[in-house]
């Protein structure tokens, strides 16, 4: 019997210009918004107060943008970084050009922008990628550029619990 371990991609497997569509999408719920905002001590009325938000320009509560960002990054893990990530190095160029609301579905894709071997960490490489989140209508609701330190295939440690 052949066995397969689900994992992300090693540095050598990532190609500049490749685009990964992360599916399924994630439908944002009121509970997601309230829980995430509460856990992160973000008491912004635009996330928590329906009556107040109804008087504001969007007319309803907005999903916490940090939930959107975290969910986009999380959606990419299984395909790109699961077991192949050494460390996240940084996020930049983060924007939220359109709102995300309760009931919207967030679909994420990731484009590989740059791949290079690390000059200071043998067996590892730096991968730069752009995450883009769209709602169910295809409108871009968030973008972020992410730099990650990742393993090269021959240097990666064995996965714990695997023979």
User: Model confidence over 107-148: pLDDT tens digits?
Assistant: 999 999 999 999 999 999 999 999 999 999 999 999 999 999
Domain annotation covers residue 3: no
pLDDT tens by residue, 81-102: 999 999 999 999 999 999 999 9
User: What residue numbers bound the domain in which 118 lies?
Assistant: 11-155
Number of domains observed in the structure of the chain: 1
Rg (CA), the chain: 18
Give the bridge partners for 92, in sequence order.
145
Question: Six-digit token pair at 15?
Answer: 């190609």
Rounded-to-integer distance, Cα 22 and Cα 74, Å: 10
The CATH number of whichever domain residue 147 belongs to comes to 3.10.129.10
Whole-model pTM: value is 0.92
Domain annotation covers residue 42: yes
């Amino acid at each position: 019997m052949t066995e397969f371990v689900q994992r992300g991609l090693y540095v050598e497997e990532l190609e500049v210009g490749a685009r990964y569509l992360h599916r399924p999408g994630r439908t944002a719920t009121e509970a997601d918004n309230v829980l995430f905002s509460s856990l992160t001590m973000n008491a912004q009325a635009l996330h928590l107060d329906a009556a107040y938000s109804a008087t504001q320009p969007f007319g309803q509560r907005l999903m916490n943008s940090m939930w959107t960002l975290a969910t986009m990054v999380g959606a990419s893990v299984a395909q790109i970084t699961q077991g192949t990530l050494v460390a996240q190095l940084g996020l930049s160029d983060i924007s939220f050009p359109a709102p995300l609301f309760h009931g919207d579905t967030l679909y994420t894709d990731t484009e590989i922008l740059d791949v290079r071997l690390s000059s200071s960490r043998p067996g590892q490489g730096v991968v730069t990628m752009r995450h883009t989140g769209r709602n169910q209508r295809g409108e871009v609701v968030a973008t972020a550029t992410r730099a990650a330190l990742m393993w090269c295939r021959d240097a990666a440690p064995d996965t714990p619990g695997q023979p």
